[in-house]
Amino acid sequence: MSDLEGQRGSPPMWGARTWPWGQRTLARIAELRALLEFEWKRAERDSCVEELKDSARAHLKEAEEAVGSARRWWPRAGQVDSALANMNSAHTTIMRIAPLEDLRGMLPDLVALVEENLLLHDQRRSKIAKSMRDWKNDGNISQRHTVVDAVRAAYRVQEREVVRVRSFSRIVYGWAAGLMAISIAVAMLGAVYDDAVPMCFHPLGTIVCPTSGGAFTGDLDHDYHLATRPWDYVVVETAGLVAAAVTAAATLRQIRGTATAYNVPLALAVLKLPTGALTAVLGLLLMRGEFVPGLTALDTSAQIVAWAIIFGAAQQLFTRFVDERGNAVMQAVAGPESPRPPTAQRGGSSPHVQEVD
């Protein structure tokens, strides 16, 4: 057993292995450990290489521990960032250990990584492409540094994009929590002061509310006071929330999954629920205020609930802009499940990939 095998440490708790992002990260850590052991056996042994080996091993250990901690604790942003940063640092350290002929064999994948993340005018991108062409004839230490620096820069871009996904997800969850609190407060106020802003209509000499009704005697405020019930707002918000849930389920088919540790599609779906509850209330209040010509008086409680469902589903008109932004944020993060499409800034695949045998 090698000294690397003896330092692999105990695996993290089982929760990390049932977490998709944790599974992929642990698999990548295991791959890098095997690569480190392989390159360590082939490298020329000296004190500098020994220090690099110890550094890479420490980074991998920190990354594995961070994955386990990320599954156990919430919030887990710090652990996720630590796992990614340590894993990427370990890879660049292994590249410094690997013999030049081994590093040459890694060039196609490394060039693809750099061109996927760095902009076209980035000098590090052009330098690594030039190194790939020149490496056919000879490889030297300066070329190794060029490759390592470019890969490290590409990893930093990836890490920043993961931070963007996390920030967007937190913003969406925060707005969803705020809207949910507002909808709950509206329902509670409607239950306590049920006749303050009654959600009732008075067509043809009658009073119609979401859950009750009565005869119109001429004193509208008194009739509303008698007809309203504490659960009127609750019924309307529930109808809007259910309608929003149905529309959210229908729109999720258009949203691609994410390879990061943050579930942006779930955050977008959660945002729709309180939004639907509030749009149902606001829509009916607009109708009661005769904002919509020709729809100033609903005849039955069933019609009121039906319009609450319609207004709840209409939340998609407001949240679709957030959906579009969420899709753009997720597509910016490359991964096995969500490859980043080529852009005008980053360009497509390298024309030099096929030049290396």
The predicted-structure confidence for 258-286, as pLDDT tens digits, reads as follows 666 677 888 888 999 999 999 999 999 88
φ, ψ of residue 123 in degrees (nearest 5): -65, -30
Computed over every residue of the chain, the mean pLDDT equals 80
CA–CA dist 81, 330 (Å, integer): 17
CA–CA dist 81, 61 (Å, integer): 14
Kindly list the distances between the CA atom of residue 316 and the CA atoms of 34, 253, 256, 271, in Å, as whole numbers in the listed order. 49, 14, 18, 10
What pLDDT score does 236 carry? 94
Low-confidence stretches of the chain (pLDDT < 50) are 1-14, 335-357
The predicted-structure confidence for 313-336, as pLDDT tens digits, reads as follows 999 888 888 888 887 887 776 543
Tokens linked to 114:
């750099």
What pLDDT score does 91 carry? 94
The predicted-structure confidence for 292-313, as pLDDT tens digits, reads as follows 666 666 788 888 899 999 999 9
CA–CA dist 59, 67 (Å, integer): 12
Closest-CA residue to 281 (of 317, 318, 314, 250) = 314
What pLDDT score does 1 carry? 42
Residue indicated by tokens 């329902």: 187
- By percentage, how much of the chain surpasses pLDDT 90? 26
Q: What is the CA radius of gyration of the chain?
A: 30
Q: What's the predicted TM-score (pTM) here?
A: 0.72
Domain ranges of the chain: 3-166, 167-331
Q: Which residues contact 331 (CB under 8 A, 6 or more apart)?
A: 256, 338, 340, 341
What pLDDT score does 338 carry? 41
**Helix (H), strand (E) at residue 214:** strand 213-215
